[in-house]
Structure 1
Amino acid sequence: MAQAESSTPQVSSKAEAKAELKKLKAQQKQQKQERKARKKANKKEGFFARIKQVFDMTRSYDPNIGWWMALAFLLTFAVVTVVIGLLLNWVTGVLVALPFGLLATLFVMNRRAEKAAFSRIEGRPGAAAAVLNTLRRGWSVTEEPVAMDPKTQAAVFRVVGKPGLVLVTDGSAAAVRKLVPKTRKRFTPVLRDTGVPIHVVETGRGEGQVPLPRLNKHIKKLDKTLTKHEVAALDKRLNSLPISRPPIPHGVDPYRMRPDRKAMRG
C-alpha cells in the first residue's frame, strides 16, 4: 500500500513534466512563427518603401513617370493577355499578364529613375565616373582619373572593355581637349604593338558630345575587337603602368585638392 501510494506522485510529476515540456515547445514554435512573420512583413515594408522612395525621387525630375509606368503596364498586359488567350484561354491570359505587366512597370521606373539620377549629377565634377561605375561585367573602370586639370577640374577616365581602351572625358570641352592628346600619347607607345584601338568619348550636351544618360549605351555600341581574355590581359598591363594613375599626390582629393588625412596616415 505504501509503495503504491508513493508511486502516484511520481507518475503525476512525470505527466506534468511532459505537459510542461509540450507547452514550452508549443510556445517556442509560436514565437518562431511570429518572428518569421515579422521578418517577412519588414521585408515587404522595406521593399515597398524603397519603391516609393525611388518613385518620389524620379517624379521630382520626371513628372510624367506615372503615365509612362501606366502605359507600360497596359501595353504589356494587353499583349500578353491576347497572346495567351488565343493560345490557351482568356482566364489564363489575364493571370499570366498581371505579373508581366508589373515587371514592365518596374522596368520602366528603374530606367526613368536612372536617367533622373544621371540628370541630377550632370555638370558636376566626377559625374562621368559615377555613370561609368554602373557598367556591368566585362568592363574595367578606373576610380581615379588618368589625367586631370586641377584648375578647371576637367578629367579623363580610363575604361577597358571589348572595344579596347576608351578614354572618357569629364568637364568643359576646351579643357578636356587639351588633356586628351597628352593622355593618348601616354598610352600609344604601350599599345602600339598590340593593335588595341583607343577610343575617345567626350561627355556633355554640345555637338559631338555624349550626354550622361546615354554614355554607357554609347560605349557598349563601340565596335568590339577584343576577347574576354584579351580584355583581362590589357587591364592587367595598364594597371601595372605608373602612367595609368593621375599626376595627383597620394591622399589628395582630385576634385577638392584637399589632403585626405586618413590616407596620409596610412
Structure 2
Amino acid sequence: MAGPGESSDYPRRMARSRSTDTSAPAGKAGRGPAGGAPGRSTGATAVSSSKTGKVGKDGKPKVKRLAKLKSQAGMIRQAYTLTYRNDPKLPWIMLIAFVVVAAAVELFGLLVFSSPFLFLPIAVLLGLLAALIVFGRRAQGSAYRQVEGQPGAASWVLEGMRGDWRVSSGVAGTREFDALHRVLGRPGIVLVGEGTPQRVRGLIAQEKRRIAKVVGDTPIYDVVVGDGEGEVPLKKLSTHVMKLPRNLSGAEVNALSKRMSALGGSRMPVPGGPLPGGRQMSVSQRQVRRR
C-alpha cells in the first residue's frame, strides 16, 4: 500500500508515462485515414504500393525498356524467319550490303587519316545500318508479293500507314469480292477500291453520292488499286495516299470524323488479314511495313 508521499506523485508519473508513449512520427506515413484507423496501416500501404513498380499517367504500370527491346527483337526475328522462307537469298544480300558499306568507310579512313582503326566502329555501325535497311526493303517486298491479288490486300496496306488515318474497310462491295475502303485524313476523304476496275469505279461513284451531303466541300480523292493505266499498284498505295496534299487541320479532321460516323462503317465482311500464314505473319510483317 503506497504511503502519503507516493500517492501525491502518482498522477505526475502517469502523465509522464503517457507523454513518452507516442505513436508513429508525424507525417504522411504516420497519419491514419479519416475513419480513425492507426497510422501504421497507411505506412504498410505505402510499402506495398512501392513494390508494384512505377505507374504511368494513365494509372497503368509502365513497361520496362528491357521488355520493349525484347518484344521488338522478337518481332524482327519472326519477320526475318518469314521473309527468309520466301527469299532464301536474304542473308547473303544483307552480308554483301554490310561488307560493301563497312569496307567503303574503312577505306575512307585509311586514305584520309592513314589509320585502320579510327573509323572501324563507324564502319561497323554503318554496315549494320545498311544491312537492316536492305532487310526492311526485302521484307516489305515479300509481304506485298504474298498479299497481292487477295481480297482485303488494300485494306491491309491502308491500316498499316503511319500517321492519323481513319480507315473504314469494306464500306461497299460486290459478290465478286470487289471492295471499297474509305480513308479519312488530312487530305480529306480518300476512296480506295480493289477488284475489277469497271465494277470498282461504279462503287466509287455510288459512295461519292452517298457522302456528298455529309462532307460538304471536303476534297474527295478516288484510287483504284491495280497495274493498269490510271491505277495505283498495291506496293505504291501507301506512298500515293500519304503524298496527297494536306487540305484539313487536325480539328477539321476530328469534326468531319464525327459527321462521318453517322454513315456507319463497314457494310461487308473484309478478311482480317490476307496473308496465308495466319495471324502471326500479319503481326510481324505489319511492323516491318510501317518502317
| Bucket of the pairwise TM-score, normalised by the shorter protein | 0.5 to 0.7
SS class of match (2:117): helix
Separation in structure 1 between the aligned mates of residue 220 and residue 240 of structure 2, nearest angstrom: 15
1:178 partner amino acid:
G
2:231 partner amino acid:
Q
SS class of match (1:146): strand
Which structure would you say has the larger Rg?
Answer: 2
1:131 shift after superposition:
1.0
Distance 1:255 1:60, change over 3 A: closer
Choose which of 256, 260, 265 in structure 2 pairs with 1:245. Answer: 265
Structure 1 partner of 2:194: 170
In the alignment, does 2:155 pair up with 1:135? no
Alignment of 1:16-165 (within 5 A): 47=73, 51=76, 53-78=78-103, 80-81=105-106, 86=112, 90-142=116-168, 144-149=169-174, 151-165=175-189
Structure 2 partner of 1:233: 255
Alignment of 1:175-254 (within 5 A): 175-192=199-216, 195-239=217-261, 241-242=262-263, 244-248=264-268, 253-254=269-270
What count of residue pairs does the alignment treat as equivalent?
A: 204
Alignment of 1:10-21 (within 5 A): none
Deviations along 1:127-158, one digit per CA (max 9) or x if unpaired, are 1111111112222212x311111x11111111
Distance 1:230 1:93, change over 3 A: farther
Separation in structure 2 between the aligned mates of residue 208 and residue 63 of structure 1, nearest angstrom: 34
Deviations along 1:41-82, one digit per CA (max 9) or x if unpaired, are xx87x94x7655433432444454345423432443245446
1:234 partner amino acid:
L
Q: Answer yes or no: is the 8 Å Cα contact 1:165–1:197 preserved in 2.
A: yes
2:158 partner amino acid:
L
Q: Which has the higher contact order (CA 8 A, sep 6+)?
A: 2
Distance 1:218 1:188, change over 3 A: same
Separation in structure 1 between the aligned mates of residue 164 and residue 113 of structure 2, nearest angstrom: 39
Structure 1 partner of 2:23: none
1:226 shift after superposition:
1.8
- TM-score, reference length from structure 1: 0.65
2:236 partner amino acid:
R
Distance 1:77 1:161, change over 3 A: farther
Structure 1 partner of 2:287: none
Q: Answer yes or no: is the 8 Å Cα contact 2:215–2:256 preserved in 1.
A: no
Separation in structure 2 between the aligned mates of residue 125 and residue 73 of structure 1, nearest angstrom: 37
Separation in structure 2 between the aligned mates of residue 88 and residue 232 of structure 1, nearest angstrom: 59
Distance 1:81 1:175, change over 3 A: same
State the superposition RMSD in angstroms.
3.0
Deviations along 1:225-257, one digit per CA (max 9) or x if unpaired, are 222332232223212x22x43445xxxx4569x
1:245 partner amino acid:
G
SS class of match (2:132): helix
Identity percentage over the alignment?
35
Q: Answer yes or no: is the 8 Å Cα contact 2:151–2:270 preserved in 1.
A: no
Q: Answer yes or no: is the 8 Å Cα contact 2:191–2:222 preserved in 1.
A: yes
Q: Answer yes or no: is the 8 Å Cα contact 1:148–1:246 preserved in 2.
A: no
Q: Answer yes or no: is the 8 Å Cα contact 1:119–1:212 preserved in 2.
A: no
Specify every segment of 5 or more residues in structure 1 that has no aligned partner in the other structure, as ranges: 1-39, 257-266
- TM-score, reference length from structure 2: 0.60
1:170 shift after superposition:
1.7
Larger helix percent: 1
2:257 partner amino acid:
D
